[in-house]
Amino acid sequence: MQGNPLFSGDWPRGGPRGTPRRPGICYACAMTRSELAHLELLAEIDSLSQSLSRWADSAPAWREAGICGAMVRRLFERTAGVRVRLEAPLVVAILGGTGTGKSALVNAIVGRRLVASGRERPTTERPALVCRPPLVPEMLGIDPASVDLVHEDAAALADLVLIDCPDPDTSESGGEATNLARLRRILPNCDVLLLTATQQKYRSARVAEELAAAAPGARLIFIQTHGDSDEDIRDDWRRVLGADYEPGHIFRVDSLAALENAERGLSPRGEFRKLMDLLTGQLAGAAATRIRRANFLDLVDDTLDLCSQRLSAARPAVERLAAAIDQERQRLGVDLAGRVEAELLSARRIWETRLVGRVASRWGISPFSVVLRVYQGLGGLLSSALLFRVRTPAQLALWGVFEGARSWQKARGRRRADQTAQQALSQCWSEDALRQSSLVLDGYALDAGVQRERKDTAGLATEAVAAGERFAEEATDQLDALVQRVADRHAGWLTRAGYELLFSAMLVFVLIRPAKNYFYDSWLAAAPADVLGLDFYLISAFWLVLWSILLLWRFTLGLRRGLKREIGGLVDQWRSVKPAAGLFAGVEAECREARQFCDDLARLKNEVAQLRQRLDLPDLGRRR
């Protein structure tokens, strides 16, 4: 392995600067692991970008969601050049007020006088782009017509591009040709901003305004210039910045003295040496890519914060719309439940006869069960005619319970049995009631910014038919169970024994008298008596029927009371949103999508926060 640079004490050409050389260590392996970790991070950021794009495209028909989606798309337009500039040197802009020594700082960093400063050019009007050849502005995504290009093959420019920005606090006119216009065109292409200030200029409102507009998505380095003549204002400056920025370390330098030392071949000293170490060491090489990724994540985080603020402010209106949907469904459900209850109670005769039939079938053949069967047979005629008079869902469900609704529903395969059933289901709610609810929801949807698709009366009637079908099917099962419970309670052996004893006693009494008269009194008695005539049998039959009616009345009275209690409990369950669950499905879906949109935003914010924590960056300032 002799002569192999990978295992020698020297870095191969292009290796990282400032790394100690340790014989016998495979630096290529260490670099590979680092590169793999970096590639993993880049892949996660690319995945985040795709998730952001999908989130923006999934914006529902909600005004605030559309605005947030547009903000994310504009973000991608602004950061479209990030990937193009991944391998380019770090673009560092020097920003500050007039007379703060921006140009002098550029010259001091490069180590020679490249741009005019001080009295030679008291106001910087046109950006000066200082870079090593053969770099050109186009490679950095910068319009070459907007800058003055200065090429210099200096060591400090190996991984840096410096931009001496125009002064933002000078008064001038000219529209697109003003200093501010030039400044605002150049700053979006910068990765790091060096903000220079002096004892007199660190509270400049105009500079602070332009910094606030440019800071999102850019790392910041705060520098107090004129350090040889001004007092140290860094602590007070930190308090001024503290509300809006994390300033990091604030440097205090003397640019002119640093330039003189460089021209004399002396090494940088003091704070300026720390600044040069940061710019040419810590921010060199792969750090530029990390900073650009961090700037992108900062922009994403700021954008998502704005989106979160907008959605949080608008979401209560969406929740009020969702609550209004439930309220209108509740109102319609209560209205339907009340009408169904009245119809069920008005059909008492049909209920009683069918319940009597179920009890009789449980009792088999006995004297009183025969009476019950006769009574049930009379009610069967009414039940058979009920289907032809169906006009409401309650009547349809009632008929289904009494005539084998389960078999009938399977046979029809979830299709309407006939035109009569369709008419019944379409009459769950009146057109006026549906229109009233629709107008109420239109107001809430307008307030929430949800673009509700207006439906005509026919569309609402279709939803009402579907809701009526679901309600009728559910009501049929519940009524079937209700009938079974009432029948079970009144078919017990104790109840049966009481009614059988009372009816059998009357029957025996009616039969013994004519039997005694015929067999004994008219045949075997010493003085034969006349056989009872037809009037006796008519009177006996009358009292037997009357006694049967009395027993039936008492028996059905118990059934009626039990039914009323059960129906009341069942209808209480129907006084909810369930009967009208299918109504206003479109606007309900919009509310659900709006909630999901907000939840997805929270997930994306958490993902961005995790990625930002994983970036290993120098101690640079940033906007809070």
Percent of the chain having pLDDT more than 70?
A: 75
Nearest to residue 68, comparing CAs of 588, 586, 448, 594?
594
Cα(369)–Cα(548) distance, rounded to whole angstroms? 11
Structural domain includes residue 40: no
State which of 133-142, 284-293, 368-377 shows the largest mean pLDDT.
133-142
Tally of domains in the chain? 2
Structural domain includes residue 416: yes
Q: Are residues 374 and 487 in the same domain?
A: yes
* Per-residue confidence (pLDDT) for residue 172, from 0 to 100: 52
* Per-residue confidence (pLDDT) for residue 80, from 0 to 100: 60
Q: Are residues 382 and 273 in the same domain?
A: no
**Measured at the alpha carbon of residue 549, what is the angle toward residues 544 and 550, in degrees to the nearest 5?**
95
Torsion angles phi and psi, residue 529, rounded to 5: -105, 165
Q: Are residues 274 and 393 in the same domain?
A: no
State the pLDDT confidence band at 580, using cuts at 50, 70 and 90: confident
Q: What is the 3-state secondary structure (H, E, C) of 553-576?
A: HHHHHHHHHHHHHHHHHHHHHHCC
* Per-residue confidence (pLDDT) for residue 616, from 0 to 100: 64
* Per-residue confidence (pLDDT) for residue 308, from 0 to 100: 94
Q: Are residues 127 and 275 in the same domain?
A: yes
Percent of the chain having pLDDT more than 90?
A: 12
Structural domain includes residue 220: yes
* Per-residue confidence (pLDDT) for residue 522, from 0 to 100: 80
Structural domain includes residue 589: no
Q: Are residues 97 and 175 in the same domain?
A: yes
CB contact at 8 A, 260 and 235: no
In this prediction, residues 290-305 reach a mean pLDDT of 82
Of the two residues 49 and 289, the one the predictor is more confident about is 49
Instruction: Output the average pLDDT for the chain.
Output: 76
State which of 78-87, 455-464, 514-523 shows the largest mean pLDDT.
514-523
* Per-residue confidence (pLDDT) for residue 597, from 0 to 100: 95
Last residue of a domain, one of 284, 315, 333: 284
* Per-residue confidence (pLDDT) for residue 1, from 0 to 100: 37
- Using one digit for the tens of pLDDT, what is the confidence trace for 433-468? 888 888 888 889 889 888 776 554 556 777 777 777
Task: State whether residue 81 is helix, strand or coil.
Answer: coil
Structural domain includes residue 254: yes
Q: Please say if the pLDDT value at position 545 is more than 60.
A: yes
State which of 35-44, 190-199, 445-454 shows the largest mean pLDDT.
190-199
Structural domain includes residue 355: yes
* Per-residue confidence (pLDDT) for residue 324, from 0 to 100: 92
- Using one digit for the tens of pLDDT, what is the confidence trace for 366-401? 888 888 888 777 655 555 555 455 555 555 555 555
Q: Please say if the pLDDT value at position 67 is more than 90.
A: yes
Last residue of a domain, one of 229, 250, 284: 284
CB contact at 8 A, 581 and 467: yes
CB count within 10 Å of CB 388 equals 9
* Beta bridge partners of residue 623, listed in sequence order: 245
* Beta bridge partners of residue 194, listed in sequence order: 94, 221
Nearest to residue 339, comparing CAs of 379, 394, 271?
394
State the pLDDT confidence band at 422, using cuts at 50, 70 and 90: very low
- Least confident range from 33-37, 461-465, 471-475, 504-508: namely 33-37
Q: Please say if the pLDDT value at position 33 is more than 50.
A: yes
Q: Please say if the pLDDT value at position 423 is more than 60.
A: no
State which of 75-79, 357-361, 452-456, 598-602 shows the largest mean pLDDT.
598-602
In this prediction, residues 104-112 reach a mean pLDDT of 90
* Per-residue confidence (pLDDT) for residue 411, from 0 to 100: 41
Domain of 211, CATH number, reads 3.40.50.300
Q: Please say if the pLDDT value at position 552 is more than 80.
A: yes
| Percentages (nearest 5) of helix, strand, coil residues in the chain | 65, 5, 30
Domain that holds residue 544: 347-583
Cα(441)–Cα(324) distance, rounded to whole angstroms? 7
**Measured at the alpha carbon of residue 101, what is the angle toward residues 98 and 106, in degrees to the nearest 5?**
125
Q: Please say if the pLDDT value at position 22 is more than 50.
A: no
State the pLDDT confidence band at 79, using cuts at 50, 70 and 90: low
* Per-residue confidence (pLDDT) for residue 413, from 0 to 100: 38
In this prediction, residues 160-182 reach a mean pLDDT of 70
* Per-residue confidence (pLDDT) for residue 15, from 0 to 100: 39
Of the two residues 479 and 84, the one the predictor is more confident about is 479
- Using one digit for the tens of pLDDT, what is the confidence trace for 248-263? 889 999 888 888 888 8
Q: Are residues 250 and 376 in the same domain?
A: no
Q: Are residues 365 and 278 in the same domain?
A: no
Structural domain includes residue 226: yes
State which of 115-124, 235-244, 577-586 shows the largest mean pLDDT.
235-244
Q: Are residues 508 and 432 in the same domain?
A: yes
Of the two residues 411 and 523, the one the predictor is more confident about is 523
Find out whether the peptide bond into 127 is cis, omega within 30 degrees of 0: no
DSSP state of 7: G
Residue 211 CB contacts under 8 Å (≥ 6 apart), including other chains: 95, 193, 195, 220
Q: Which residue has the tokens 């029957």?
A: 507
In this prediction, residues 110-116 reach a mean pLDDT of 87
State the pLDDT confidence band at 599, using cuts at 50, 70 and 90: very high
In this prediction, residues 165-171 reach a mean pLDDT of 71
* Per-residue confidence (pLDDT) for residue 36, from 0 to 100: 66
Output the CA torsion sign for 149, 150, 151, 153: negative
Q: Are residues 497 and 573 in the same domain?
A: yes
- Using one digit for the tens of pLDDT, what is the confidence trace for 527-541? 778 888 888 888 888
Last residue of a domain, one of 248, 263, 284: 284
Q: Are residues 567 and 467 in the same domain?
A: yes
Q: Are residues 269 and 356 in the same domain?
A: no
Q: Are residues 352 and 206 in the same domain?
A: no
Structure-derived torsion over alpha carbons of residues 242, 243, 244, 250, reported in degrees to the nearest 10 = -10
Name the strand (E) or helix (H) holding 623: strand 622-623
Structural domain includes residue 96: yes
